[in-house]
Copies of this chain bind each other. A is one copy, B any other.
Amino acid sequence: MQEKALPVGQVRFTGGLCEEKVQLVKDTVIPYQEKMLKDELPSAEPSGAVENFRIAAGLAEGRYQGMVFQDSDLAKWLEAAAYTLADERDPKLEARVDEIIGIIAAAQHEDGYLNTYYTVKEPGKRWTNLRDNHELYCGGHMMEAAVAYYEATGKTQLLDVMEKMAVHIAEQFGSEEGKQRGYPGHEEIELALIKMYRITGTRKYLDLAEYFVLERGRQPHYFQLEAERRGDAPLHGGLLDYAYSQSHLPVLEQTEAVGHAVRATYLYAAMADLAVETGRDDLIRTCRTLWDSAVNKRMYITGGIGSSAFGEAFTTDYDLPPDTAYSETCAAIVLTFWARRMLHAETRGCYGDVMEKAFFNTILAGMGEDGQQFFYVNPLEVHPDTARHRHDQRHVRTRRQGWFGCACCPPNAARFLASLGQYVYGYNETGIHVHLYAASSATFTLATGLVSLTQTTDYPWDGTVDMELSMEEKQQFSLSLRIPGWCRGARLSVNGQEVDAETRPAQGYVQLHREWKNGDTVRLQLPMPIERVLSHPAVRATAGKQAFMRGPLVYCFEEVDNGPMLSALAVDENQEPVLEPGPVPVLCVPGFRLPEQSLLYSADRPTAQAQVLRAVPYFMWGNREPGEMQVWIHSV
């Protein structure tokens, strides 16, 4: 059954890990990134993101700086700022945002076109290379920012700008006579247009999104025609070719998650949105097939996707090496966008499970504890000396960085975390869905009236979740609670009365349908033993190894806790790991360390020394002394 998310400002975090991260974004990440984008940090290379708009607007002189998609860094930051303003208005921040919006508006061409790269650096060449450049992508990000800022503040300037841009785009592209049958090389604008449609009701935006999705991969191939017009060689038959941009086949014929992982998941997310808006069954069926491919065959245990640095891409089933992993922070974020949209379409636990997994592991890992250091790629095993020497690990950073030449991830993490409230709950006329557990409160407008829900929990550190409902009159509706896929033996009670949570529906949600009254309480207990997780035996890189999880959190072993040469460690199959209590629960895993041997290869069996191994949540790795890190470990 379809559902909607609550707008960002209507979910309030009230403690615990989620609130901590949302607050960090508001207090530190947003101001830090603003300085970065405005080139106000003397320690960093200038980004040029704001300056490019000033130049395009004629407010400054200079040369275009940065990637062809530099505009999108600013757009993502604007969107992040908008979400924090939705949560709590802040006149000073708002004034600074308005100033930037004024510059953006001034950079827009008369006809609605907006893109600083083509305005400043390649005037006259707009819309000539949809395959490689990112005009539509940048436009999409700015549309998302416009929608978020309008929702947060009611101000329309940026929305007006982006409507004008949307209209301009709709005049250029489409299947109608006289238009080019183009579509973006990097998907993103599709879901942005659907957001624009939802907020404005302008059907044209939805139609354009649908056109972009369904035109993709059709013959004659637009990117080939376009390349011929430019006089460029068409993409030759390399390893990825058009699969890189998911344009190797019409989308409804696609069955495997392929190519650039961020592009792919933006496309799939838009397809889910379209399925919701149009009710097209073929779209949701295709989404389910692609979901199975992406998540059940090509996803790391951390929710990371894209196992190859080449093309930042998916490769093939079960190819999930931990050390050469790409697992881009952005890709985990966009996977979460997709999962959230699948939940809009249908309430199935698998989507919530992946949302939770990607969030608590890869996305959180993408940002350091200080909010000013970021990972772009998120391998599951890091050996600094090897990363320095292997060309096929040159994408690996063994410490978080303050910024990147290609800085897509940091502001993406900011906007994701600033909008975290959207991911916790869903609702429709018949009830409330709880997808994520986090200390929070929210109010829903059901068919039967207003209902407020308060979660009190220390999740993900503890599995007990207490919920309290408040309302004026008694109301009949259903409260659906996700029973996480990792959980065995969930217990549930309503007003202290045990309810069967185990014989749950196949869809992964237990549905409490009843007449609720003010003050009703629900307690969900999700046991969180330390679990030893195995991968599918076809995953060559991790077959025979185990990973430790507790609740939704994947743990990892760091050099700072366990000494160097983590590969010499093995866990003891016959002894149980224990939890060391503390603000962050640490796992103490009985194990062994193999001694160094003089020979590189030997038939001798060395005597391993007992050692208690310590594991910390994966998302926290790399916040202390730098060194080795490893998620998967072998056992003896």
Contacts and interface: CB of A to CB of B under 8 A. Distances in A.
Contacts of A391: 239, 308-311
A301 interface: yes
Nearest to A534: B602
Contact of A601 (B301, B394, B604): B301
A594 B539 CA distance: 12
A383 interface: yes
A537 B565 contact: yes
A233 interface: no
Interface stretch (A81-89, A99-107, A316-324): A316-324
Nearest to A383: B540
A6 to B, nearest CB: 30
How many copies of the chain does the oligomer comprise? Answer: 2
A436 interface: no
Contacts of A537: 565, 567-568, 594-597
A570 B597 CA distance: 24
Interface in A585-622: 594-597, 599-606
B386 A540 contact: yes
Nearest to A603: B531
Given A539-B567, A544-B570, A605-B534, A296 B599 contact: yes
Given A538-B596, A539-B567, A544-B545, A390 B603 contact: no
B239 A299 contact: no
A389 B319 contact: yes
Contacts of A534: 597, 601-606
A381 interface: yes
A570 B537 CA distance: 10
Interface of A: 239, 295-297, 299, 301, 308-311, 315-317, 319, 323-324, 381, 383, 385-386, 388-392, 394, 486, 531-540, 543-545, 547, 549, 565, 567-568, 570, 594-597, 599-606, 634-636
Given A315-B390, A540-B567, A544-B544, 8 more contacts: A315-B389, A316-B389, A316-B390, A534-B606, A535-B600, A543-B568, A544-B567, A544-B636
28 contacts: A296-B600, A301-B600, A301-B601, A308-B389, A308-B391, A310-B391, A315-B389, A316-B385, A316-B390, A317-B385, A319-B386, A319-B390, A323-B540, A392-B392, A534-B601, A534-B602, A534-B603, A534-B605, A537-B567, A537-B594, A537-B595, A537-B596, A537-B597, A539-B600, A543-B567, A543-B568, A543-B634, A544-B634
10 interchain residue pairs of minimum CB distance? A310-B391, A544-B634, A537-B568, A316-B389, A537-B594, A543-B567, A392-B392, A531-B603, A540-B567, A315-B389
